[in-house]
Amino acid sequence: MLRVATLLLAVLAAAPLAAEAPERPEFMRGMVVSCPRYGEVWGSPEMTSSLRELADLGVEWVAIHPYAGVRRNGQVRYWPAAETGYLDRAAKIVHAQGMKLFWKPHLAYWGSFEWRGAIEFGDEPRAWDEFFDRYEAFIVDQATFAQRAGVDLFAIGVELERTTRHADRWQRIIDRVREVYDGLITYAANWDSVDQVPFWGSLDMIGVHAYFPLSGAADPSWDEIWRGWDGPIAALEALSRRHQGKPIVFAEIGYNRSSAAAREPWDHEMQDTPQSRELRERLMRVALTRIETVPSIRGMFWWKWIPGDWRYDRDFSMRNPEAKEALRTTWGEAASGLTPPG
């Protein structure tokens, strides 16, 4: 468990010595690097060129989300991580760029459920058993790979909100993961379900997909967006206190080019106008400026960057000029020693 201790010292706040000011722990400046299809692009030359560009924008962590499929009968199907080849290449590419790695396996729900938060099996115990048995096998396989690949942070689940009431099955998954993986462990809850996860106490970090509604206005100002964060930040700080100061990571945050981006940040419908681009950049700049100063929040991962072919890079693209500019003038200039604009 040496790596856990080392990572905790680096990522979590250490208790300050008497008469010394507490040192701000490392903030995880991250990007979710996504993929078309099954992720071969993660192990490609395009991944290397993307990471070099991300490093220039101040990104220091990369999140990758390998897939398994899920069916209505509870069946979970996956390829063992070690057999894919491209996942091993991806981990090596990330580390070769001097970046840290967040591994957050996803369930591909397409064709079976509306979204991951809708995955459940009602009063069908056989389907529940099938799901948890196979999902546990998938996550333990991924955690075994993550240990071998030197992954720094691992998510045991993503947005599986209707399954978390089965706390005993989730605790078994956590215990099995800790048997094979000695890095930091989190779970990525949707923004409106973060209070309903019963096993935060067994994890190292509280993970949140931070698509919080911030304003109902059609074109909210900087100040309106800033105030819109007051409620979510207060609630997250209270959640952290209830769990003995457990740190929080935004396992995902993002905004679309849309007039609804402040009201419904999760909406994937695009309205590519000058106004929507300006609103998106404003939302990003507020988050980049404010969230890093919140004591309990230790990182954020932006959704999403797809290397290579632009045909697959549409909604929420962090390769858009306004998104890159927001990163460049905050994280990028901070990394270069320049003072970001106020």
Q: For 267-302, what is each residue's pLDDT tens digit?
A: 999 999 999 999 999 999 999 999 999 999 999 999
| Interatomic CA distance for residues 108 and 72, integer angstroms | 12
Average pLDDT, the chain: 91
Domain boundaries, the chain: 2-12+25-333
What pTM, to 2 d.p., does this model score?
A: 0.91
Q: Which of 103-112, 121-130, 167-176, 304-313 has the lowest mean pLDDT?
A: 304-313
165 within 8 A of 198, measured Cβ to Cβ:
yes
pLDDT, residue 20, reads 52
pLDDT, residue 280, reads 98
pLDDT-based confidence at residue 3 (cuts at 50, 70, 90): low
Q: Cβ–Cβ contacts within 10 Å for residue 129, how many?
A: 13
Q: Residue 240 pLDDT more than 70?
A: yes
Architecture label for domain 2-12+25-333 = Alpha-Beta Barrel (3.20)
pLDDT tens digit sequence for 5-54 = 455 445 444 444 334 545 667 899 999 999 987 899 999 999 999 999 99
Strand, coil or helix: what is 232? Answer: helix
pLDDT, residue 310, reads 74
pLDDT, residue 312, reads 76
Mean pLDDT for the stretch of residues 106-117: 90
191 within 8 A of 208, measured Cβ to Cβ:
yes
| Interatomic CA distance for residues 146 and 127, integer angstroms | 28
pLDDT, residue 17, reads 39
The separation between CA 289 and the C-alpha centre of its own chain, rounded to angstroms, equals: 18
pLDDT, residue 218, reads 86
pLDDT-based confidence at residue 2 (cuts at 50, 70, 90): very low
Q: Cβ–Cβ contacts within 10 Å for residue 94, how many?
A: 26
300 within 8 A of 249, measured Cβ to Cβ:
yes
The separation between CA 77 and the C-alpha centre of its own chain, rounded to angstroms, equals: 23
Beta bridge partners of 158: 188
Q: Which of 80-84, 185-189, 228-232 has the lowest mean pLDDT?
A: 80-84
The dihedrals phi and psi of 71, each to the nearest 5 degrees, come to -120, 165
Q: Residue 339 pLDDT more than 60?
A: no
Enter the DSSP assignment of 204.
S
pLDDT, residue 196, reads 95
Q: Does residue 246 have a cis bond before it (omega within 30 degrees)?
A: no
Enter the DSSP assignment of 233.
H
The dihedrals phi and psi of 268, each to the nearest 5 degrees, come to -90, -5
| Interatomic CA distance for residues 156 and 161, integer angstroms | 13
| Tokens, residue 306 | 């797809």
Mean pLDDT for the stretch of residues 100-125: 93
